[in-house]
């Protein structure tokens, strides 16, 4: 039997590896969708739906998978989930029609639900002082989006697009076996109360849960949406090849994943509220600059008309994406630090709810991106949409949290007490009066 710290390390390491591979599979259409779009002559909205279809099932599955994790343990649920995705992933290599890609994408998308399994599984192996950092390391598996952008173009160049799902299915199967034999289970981490489904979902009565859903729909949903969209954006906006576009798009995906651990440490050190607040501000500024379309401006001067070109060149565009990817990485960790603080005994259910909201953001946004491009003809309209959503989040956070509490202090700021805690406090006061 390995020592407790060794078991902790194995659980964290194997969970992070498994989540990285699952996320790599989940984001596969970010690259694979480009040759499929050309093959099937899809418009922008159809491409957005193709890229986002796996995100839908991955999002909807997060809540039930979180509940199953609380009841049966993360190791078993994670293993079965990975095995269930291997076959449909492999069959994608034989698809020829648009509807076939959509249907198979729904099944493959279940891999995205692995987050709510792994986050609850990992968190219960660590004490509260180190949970943020541990969850941040696990969440660094989001870098699987960048792995896809490195690996998939190379496979397409070496053979054809059909090679991508075949290789990815083999990697997923091998990872599932490694996870099963090298990870561990602790039955004490399972819910011992036998709580009903209604009791597990009672946290939906807490307004704080809805607020965390809104934050996560930006830092995770926006991350997923842009990770799916940016490869094609570079190809069409700046004329890069698929390989070069995927490499540049990884400048957003990679820091958005691997730096999540840093965001967890920052949340442990300064509190989830402070980190989330500044993440939203940085994102808002970056999106304002990214939203400006390529513009030709003509000014009438005393010497006649003078023309100016206003727009981001590829280098500055990539720098802004890189900065926003870092901000999103910190924000993804800080939101789950909120949850670990407020719902330690019900984390599977609450992380499933918040993860579902974030994933639905990742599903809806690419479709809206495509619809806006088809409607306006302006590719930067995707950033305009996200700019508005971040503005809503900033406003909500200011009136619900920032105005009521100190932002910085020696101790991490307390988060809103869960609904159940409020109810228990009121009951205690009534008993004292009696």
Q: Decide if 318 is inside a domain.
A: yes
User: pLDDT digits over 135-156, tens only?
Assistant: 878 888 888 888 898 899 999 9
Given this model, what pLDDT does residue 189 score?
59
CA separation for the pair 287, 323 (Å, rounded) = 11
The pLDDT of residue 432 is above 50: no
SS3 content of the chain, % helix, strand, coil (to 5): 80, 5, 15
Higher-pLDDT residue of 158, 71: 158
- Angle 213-214-219 (CA atoms, 0-180°, nearest 5)? 95
C-alpha to C-alpha distances, 42 to 231, 245, 387, nearest whole angstrom: 16, 19, 27
Given this model, what pLDDT does residue 190 score?
61
Q: Decide if 90 is inside a domain.
A: yes
Q: What is the CATH number of the domain that holds 113?
A: 1.20.1250.20
* Mean per-residue pLDDT, 159-168: 92
User: pLDDT digits over 293-341, tens only?
Assistant: 888 888 888 888 888 888 899 999 999 999 999 999 899 888 888 887 8
Q: Decide if 217 is inside a domain.
A: yes
Q: How far does CA 418 lie from the centroid of its chain?
A: 24
Dihedral, 358, 347, 257, 216 alpha carbons, nearest 10: 30
Question: Which two three-digit tokens encode residue 129?
Answer: 């002082």
Q: Are 326 and 262 in contact (CB under 8 A)?
A: no
Q: Are 98 and 150 in contact (CB under 8 A)?
A: no
Q: Decide if 194 is inside a domain.
A: no
Question: Which range of residues forms the domain containing residue 260?
Answer: 4-189+199-429
Q: Decide if 209 is inside a domain.
A: yes
The model's pTM is 0.74
Q: Decide if 365 is inside a domain.
A: yes
Give the total number of structural domains in the chain. 1
Q: Decide if 150 is inside a domain.
A: yes
Q: Decide if 367 is inside a domain.
A: yes
């Amino acid at each position: 039997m390995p020592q407790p710290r060794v078991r902790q390390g194995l659980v964290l390491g194997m969970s992070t590896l498994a989540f990285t591979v699952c996320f790599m599979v989940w984001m596969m259409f970010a690259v694979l969708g480009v040759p499929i779009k050309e093959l099937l002559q899809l418009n922008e909205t159809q491409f957005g739906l193709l890229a986002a279809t796996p995100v839908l099932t991955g999002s909807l599955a997060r809540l039930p998978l979180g509940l199953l994790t609380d009841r049966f343990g993360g190791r078993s649920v994670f293993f079965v989930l990975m095995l269930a995705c291997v076959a449909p992933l492999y069959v994608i290599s034989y698809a020829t029609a648009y509807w076939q890609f959509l249907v198979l994408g729904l099944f493959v998308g279940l891999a995205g639900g692995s987050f709510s399994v792994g986050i609850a599984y990992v968190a219960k192996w660590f004490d509260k002082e180190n949970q943020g950092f541990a969850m941040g390391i696990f969440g660094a598996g989001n870098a699987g989006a960048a792995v896809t952008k490195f690996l998939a173009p190379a496979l397409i160049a070496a053979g054809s697009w059909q090679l991508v799902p075949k290789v990815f299915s083999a990697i997923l199967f091998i990872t599932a076996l490694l996870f099963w034999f090298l990870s561990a289970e602790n039955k004490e981490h399972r819910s011992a109360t036998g709580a009903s489904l209604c009791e597990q979902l009672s946290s939906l009565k807490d307004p704080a849960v809805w607020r965390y859903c809104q934050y996560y729909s930006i830092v995770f949903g926006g991350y997923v949406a842009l990770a799916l969209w940016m490869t094609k954006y570079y190809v069409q906006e700046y004329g890069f090849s698929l390989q070069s576009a995927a490499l540049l798009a990884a400048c957003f995906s990679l820091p958005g994943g691997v730096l999540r651990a840093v965001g967890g440490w920052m949340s442990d050190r300064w509190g989830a509220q402070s980190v989330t607040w500044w993440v939203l501000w940085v994102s808002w500024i970056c999106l304002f600059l990214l939203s400006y379309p390529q513009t030709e401006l003509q000014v009438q001067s005393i010497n006649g008309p003078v023309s100016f070109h206003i727009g981001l060149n590829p280098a500055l565009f990539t720098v802004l994406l890189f900065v926003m990817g870092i901000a999103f990485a910190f924000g993804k960790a800080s939101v789950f630090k909120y949850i670990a603080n407020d719902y330690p005994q019900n984390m599977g259910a609450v992380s499933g709810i918040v993860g579902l909201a974030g994933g639905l953001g990742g599903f809806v946004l690419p479709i809206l991106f495509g619809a806006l491009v088809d409607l306006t003809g302006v590719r930067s309209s995707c950033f305009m949409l996200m700019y508005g959503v971040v503005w809503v989040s900033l406003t909500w956070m200011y009136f619900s949290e920032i105005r009521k509490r100190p932002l910085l202090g020696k101790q991490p700021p307390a988060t809103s007490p869960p609904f159940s805690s409020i109810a228990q406090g009121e009951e205690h006061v009534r008993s004292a009066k009696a």
